[in-house]
Amino acid sequence: MTVRIHVDMDKCQHYGQCCFEADDVFQLDDAGKLVYSTEADDSRREAVESAADVCPMQAITVE
């Protein structure tokens, strides 16, 4: 199974807190902008949900 991930880029302020929780899914590019995978293996669900929880803007949705 896979976890589907969506980041509302209108809400995201590129703080990068999500990167500390799931750095294989969320990264900041050279310009400091968030880039992310739209899917992750189900084994990463807990880390991805933690990333969503720590987002100051609550911009991350996990399905």
* Class of the CATH-defined domain 2-62: alpha beta
pTM, two decimals, is 0.94
Query: Quick one: pLDDT at residue 21?
Result: 98
- Identify the pLDDT of residue 47: 98
Instruction: Tell the residue number behind the tokens 């992750």, with chain if given.
Output: 40
What is the residue extent of each domain of the chain? 2-62
Distance between CA atoms of 33 and 45, rounded to whole angstroms?
23
Return the HEC string of 8-45. CCCCCCCCCHHHHHCCCCEEECCCCCEEECCEEEHHHH
pLDDT at 28: 98
> Quick one: which H or E segment has residue 2?
strand 2-7
What CA–CA distance (Å, rounded) separates 54 from 22? 11
Binned average pLDDT, 10 residues per bin, the chain of 63 residues: 97 98 98 98 98 98 97
The predicted pLDDT at position 17 comes to: 98
